[in-house]
Amino acid sequence: MNLYLIDGNSYIYRAYFAIRGLTNSKGLPTNAIFGFTNMLLKIIREKNPDGVIISFDSPVPTKRHAVFKEYKAQRPDMPYDLIEQIPYIKNIIEAFRIPMFEVQGYEADDVLASIAKKASKHGVNVFIVTADKDMLQIVGDNIKIYDPMKDMILDEKYVEDRYGVKPELIPDFMALAGDVVDNIPGVKGIGDKTARELLKQFVTLDNLISNVDKIKKDKLRNLILMNLDNIRISKLLSTLDISVPIEINIEELRLKEPDWQRLFELFTKLEFSSLLKYIPPSKHEFKDYEVVLSINKIKEILSDIREEVSFDICYSEENNFDSDLLGVAFCYDGIKSYYVPVKEFSDLSYGITKDQLSVMVSELLSNDEIDKIGYDIKSLLLPLKQDQSPFSFSGKFYDVMIASYLLNPNKTTHKLEEISLDFLSYRQMTKMDIFGKGKSVREVSVDDIARYHCERAVVTYRLKGVLYKLLKEEELEDVYFKIEMPLIFVLTDMELTGVKIDIEKLEEISKEIDRELDAIKSRIYFMAGEEFNINSPKQLAKILFENLGLKPTKKKKTGFSTEMGVLEELALIHDIPREIL
């Protein structure tokens, strides 16, 4: 059994400082949560452990604090925006069903060391995930350190090669050399090299203290004698307590199936859309749809639509005006939906032609007695209107993408899959689920295409009820119906019409700009006394600082800087930088 032990506090701080400025659209800081979760998933995916344990420091002061008040005193208080994230991190750990340990009055290192010793006695291969030096002291049979920063497994040989002592003597080493990270004093003036040499000569710290008179160098001997108290305290501080009162059941430490639903809810709330891919698809498969091939059947369905209908259209290409219409999905009750494929593009020997379907869709969208619901309606309508210039739209159009944006303008994306998660807690299939990687829509079966677009139609229908109720509560209905909805059609017409460009005028402007640039270059060359590549920082620096003798204000590894800020300063005293700007 391979058991990985993780220092939770260390992981959290690493995640916090590795990713800065990340929040969800509600303003909740999420950088540490996101980083911690990714680091945890990396261990699980890449190391494939049989079990994982995470330990946290106790908020209660430890024996080390009582012995040495300055222990870790140099560390600043935990930032407030990190404190907010701790409960979410622990909720995610619980959802992964990973055991957490926090023992009053003990540090996480002591807890992990005690668990490691107990587990190793049962033949478990223990890997402690940490970059802390003091944890090296328990490396031995069945216990190793995994340093995630270096992606290295550290064993007894590593410790002896790196520090010149056996793992159990790391506290002796730290008692002499100290440790800046934990504010362990050691002896000021003794570094790693000297500590290594002393322990090579005297083997142990106790033997060194007993035979301090045998140290040949007077200065070094006096340093030891003057710091005996610091040495003893430092050893006490750096020695791990492997007798933390904690009981473990090896079998209970094995990784269990995570609570995927809870993780789904947490990742959705935190807006970790990139992590949702690790959650297995739900057992639910959308089945309540029908592929309609008969023109009489589609007429019957359309005649049943009384008040509102959601629609989703399948095109041969996305975001292309010239895309071919391949099929349309309808839903008018939020439960069942219908997909009507075009027979020309679906290898069907019978069915509805593209022209027949276009006419039906046109009639539906121009019926002002029926409300139309869709996602990114402008993109759905553009190819239709391009194909049929007299195409008209009437009635109310409810675009759930725009509604989502109005409710949450700080969110960077408003994909239908994300909106569905946010407001319905429903995970719908993605395009990747249906089309895979690299497949075109024409390579997928009609049934798979139908299932995908029909589910989108049902989800869109359900979202309308939720989103537009929220718009009303937030007093944003007028913003949508008086500004956003009319803009759908304005922007559609604008994109189809395009912008007329006077090519001759643009060419004339371009030539005028070229003439101005040539004049500026000539003036620069005249003032410099020679021609040079103005775009070359190296050549420009030579002209400014060597030839003209201007005083450089900033230096880089490759020479004096000629960046914008430097040129702006120099422009105050010379014409060449002014002309360049």
Residues 6+ apart with CB under 8 A from 305: 330, 332, 364, 370
Q: Is residue 193 part of a domain?
A: no
Residues 26-72 pLDDT 10s: 889 999 999 999 999 999 999 999 999 999 988 766 666 556 565 55
Three-state DSSP string of 7-52: EHHHHHHHHHHHCCCCECCCCCECHHHHHHHHHHHHHHHHHCCCEE
Q: Which of 253, 277, 307 is the last residue of a domain?
A: 253
> Is 567 within the bounds of a domain?
yes
Give the H or E element holding residue 177.
Answer: helix 170-177
Cα distance between residue 121 and residue 142, in whole Å = 8
Q: Are residues 393 and 535 in the same domain?
A: no
Two tokens at 218?
A: 């007077």
Do 313 and 384 form a contact (C-beta atoms < 8 A)?
A: yes
Written as one letter, the residue type at 49 is: P
Number of domains in the chain: 3
- Return the closest-CA partner of residue 67 out of 239, 254, 211: 239
88 and 52 share a domain? yes
Does any domain span residue 208?
no
We report the CATH number of the domain holding residue 526 as 1.20.1060.10
Read off the pLDDT band of 282 (50, 70, 90): low
Q: Which residues of 44-62 are buried (b: 16+ CB within 10 A; e: fewer)?
A: beeeebebbbbbbbbeeeb
Q: Which of 466, 459, 467 is nearest to 405 (CA)?
A: 467
For residue 383, CA distances in Å to 380, 389, 515 come to 7, 10, 43
What's the chain's average pLDDT? 86
Half-sphere exposure of 506 (CA within 13 A, CB side): 4
d(CA 541, CA 548): 10
C-beta of residue 313 within 8 angstroms of C-beta of residue 323: no
Contact predicate 223/190, CB 8 Å:
yes
> Residue 398 domain-assigned?
yes
Torsion region of 471: left, alpha or beta (phi above 0 gives left; psi -120 to 50 gives alpha): alpha
pLDDT (average), residues 570-577: 86
Write out the residue range of the structural domain in which residue 124 sits: 2-161+241-253
Q: Does 493 lie in the same domain as 517? A: no
CATH at residue 116: 3.40.50.1010
CB-CB contact of 226 with 185 (8 Å): no
Query: Do residues 480 and 512 share a domain?
Result: no
Q: Quick check: is 199 in a domain?
A: no
Q: What is the pLDDT of residue 103?
A: 87
6 and 153 housed in the same domain: yes
Residues 515 and 458 in one domain: no
Q: Are residues 492 and 529 in the same domain?
A: no
User: Residues 7, 140: one domain?
Assistant: yes
**266 within a domain of the structure (yes/no):** no
Instruction: Kindly state whether residues 340 and 455 are assigned to the same domain.
Output: yes
User: How far from the centroid of its chain's Cα atoms is residue 274's Cα?
Assistant: 7
Q: What 3 state SS string does 248-298 have?
A: CCHHHHECCCCCHHHHHHHHHHHCCCCCHHHCCCCCCCCCCEEECCCHHHH
State whether residue 179 is helix, strand or coil.
strand
Residue 397 tokens read as 């159009």
**497, 519, 539 - which closes a domain:** 497
Asked, for residue 172, whether it belongs to a domain, the answer is: no
Residue finishing a domain among 226, 253, 280: 253
Tell me if residue 345 falls in helix, strand or coil: helix
On whether both 314 and 448 belong to a single domain, the answer is: yes
3-state secondary structure 138-206: HCECCEEEEECCCCEEECHHHHHHHHCCCHHHHHHHHHHHCECCCCECCCCCCCHHHHHHHHHHHCCHH
Single-letter residue type at 340: V
pLDDT tens readout for residues 330-364: 999 989 999 999 887 666 666 788 888 888 888 88
Same domain? 463 vs 390: yes
Q: Is the residue at 47 inside a domain?
A: yes
For residues 508 and 548, state if they share a domain.
Answer: yes
Q: pLDDT tens for residues 435-484?
A: 777 677 777 888 889 999 999 999 999 999 999 999 999 999 999 999 99
Q: Which residues contact 198 (CB under 8 A, 6 or more apart)?
A: 176, 190, 208, 215, 220
Mean pLDDT of all residues in 102-108: 85
pLDDT at 229: 81
- Could you tell me the pLDDT band of residue 329, with boundaries at 50, 70 and 90? very high
